[in-house]
């Protein structure tokens, strides 16, 4: 699903955020991305969603070489990815329903189709009764679940989450992580950046450990030779 081939990323002003990172996350797998603050976790996820471009190396998503993807093709790549953010990034002047519907509206789905899929996604995250609510009236955990519903509503093959439990209490964090496992069980590839080490350790999925832009354990998800 995702293959990093000796990827390096240097921001215009600053040192290398990633250096020679190589790994392969097979389709249907679930993995965590860990490391200290500033290790390069967010940068790695942004490269996959083409929010940043690699300085060196090759990056493949679903067989497509993303280092060669032109500007006009970027939206199509992003539609294959469900992104979840630590700060939710919801539209606060739209209802929960409209927020979750956004990826479907962008992709040009039919009206009836949209209503059905949005309700299914909201049902999965347990917010079916909040579809008319504005995000501002929801708790942090509920907002995060709206973000997750939005990420999965168009059934993307890949879910990327950047510290999805950063602001949540332990119990809520566990619920959210279980939700990700559920999606993974039905075939979605999942990659989650997190520094909730205790929680991650208990779940037992492979971990990519970053330290100052380098992968500490390249053997865990080594690319096939």
Partner 1 sequence: MRPPAALRVYFLRHVQVALNSLGRLYRAPLASLMTAAVIGIALALPSGLYILTDNLQRLGSQWDGGANLSLFLRHDVSIEQAEALREKLAQWPEIERLRLITPQEALAEFRQLSGFGDTLDILDENPLPAVLALKPAAEATRPEAAAALKQRLQALPQVELAQLDLQWVKRFNALVDIVQRAIWILSALLALAVLLITGNTIRLEIQNRREEIEITKLIGATGAFIRRPFLYSGLWYGFGGALLAALLLALAFVQLNAPVRELAGLYESSFRLHLLEPGQWLLLLLCGALLGLVGAWIAVSRHLATIEPG
Cα(116)–Cα(187) distance, integer angstroms = 21
By beta-carbon proximity to partner 1, the closer residue of 110 and 202 is 110
Identify what 57 binds: ligand ATP, Mg ion, partner 1, none; CB under 5 to 8 Å per kind: none
222 near partner 1, rule: CB under 8 A: no
Q: Least separation, in Å, of the C-beta of 79 and partner 1?
A: 4
Q: Least separation, in Å, of the C-beta of 222 and partner 1?
A: 31
DSSP category for residue 222: P
Gyration radius from the chain CA atoms: 17
By beta-carbon proximity to partner 1, the closer residue of 22 and 95 is 95
Site string for Mg ion, 41-60 (x = CB under 5 A): -x------------------
Using the rule CB under 8 A, which residue among 56, 78, 124, 205 binds partner 1?
A: 78
Distances (CA, A) of 217 to 1, 35, 54, 96, 221: 19, 12, 21, 40, 8
- Measured from the Cβ of residue 114, the count of other Cβ atoms closer than 10 Å reads 21
Give the binding range for partner 1 (CB under 8 A) out of 21-29, 83-91, 169-177, 214-222.
Answer: 83-91
> Cβ contacts of residue 201 below 8 Å, gap of 6+?
none
Site string for partner 1, 138-177 (x = CB under 8 A): ------------x---------------------------
Q: Least separation, in Å, of the C-beta of 75 and ligand ATP?
A: 21
Using the rule CB under 8 A, which residue among 110, 136, 204, 224 binds partner 1?
A: 110
Residue 15: exposed, middle, or buried by beta-carbon count in 10 A (0-12, 13-18, 19+)? exposed
Q: What are φ and ψ of residue 2, in 5° steps? A: -120, 130
Give the binding range for Mg ion (CB under 5 A) out of 40-48, 89-97, 112-120, 171-179.
Answer: 40-48
* Residue whose C-alpha is closest to residue 161's, from 78, 54, 82: 82
Q: Where are the alpha helices (DSSP H) in the chain?
A: 41-48, 74-79, 96-107, 111-124, 140-152, 170-185, 197-203
Interface residue list for ligand ATP (CB under 6 A): 11, 13-14, 17, 35, 37-43
Interface residue list for partner 1 (CB under 8 A): 46, 49, 51-52, 72, 75-79, 81, 83, 89-91, 102-103, 106-108, 110, 150
């Amino acid at each position: 699903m995702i293959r990093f081939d000796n990827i390096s990323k240097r921001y215009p002003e600053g040192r290398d955020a990633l250096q020679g990172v190589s790994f392969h996350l097979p389709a249907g797998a679930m993995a965590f991305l860990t490391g200290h603050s500033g290790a390069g976790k967010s940068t790695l996820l942004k490269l996959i969603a083409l929010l940043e471009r690699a300085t060196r190396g090759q990056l493949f998503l679903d067989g497509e070489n993303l280092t060669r993807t032109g500007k006009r093709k970027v939206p199509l790549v992003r539609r294959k990815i469900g992104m979840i953010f630590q700060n939710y990034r919801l539209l606060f002047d739209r209802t929960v329903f409209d927020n979750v519907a956004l990826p479907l509206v962008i992709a040009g789905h039919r009206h009836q189709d949209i209503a059905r899929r949005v309700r299914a996604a909201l049902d999965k995250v347990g917010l079916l009764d909040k579809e008319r609510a504005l995000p501002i009236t929801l708790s942090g955990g509920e907002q995060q679940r709206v973000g997750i519903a939005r990420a999965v509503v168009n059934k993307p093959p890949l879910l990327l989450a950047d510290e999805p439990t950063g602001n949540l209490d332990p119990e809520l964090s566990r619920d959210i992580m279980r939700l990700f496992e559920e999606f993974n069980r039905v075939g979605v590839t999942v990659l989650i950046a997190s520094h909730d080490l205790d929680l991650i350790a208990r779940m037992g999925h492979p971990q990519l450990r970053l330290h100052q832009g380098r992968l500490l354990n390249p053997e865990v998800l080594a690319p096939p030779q």
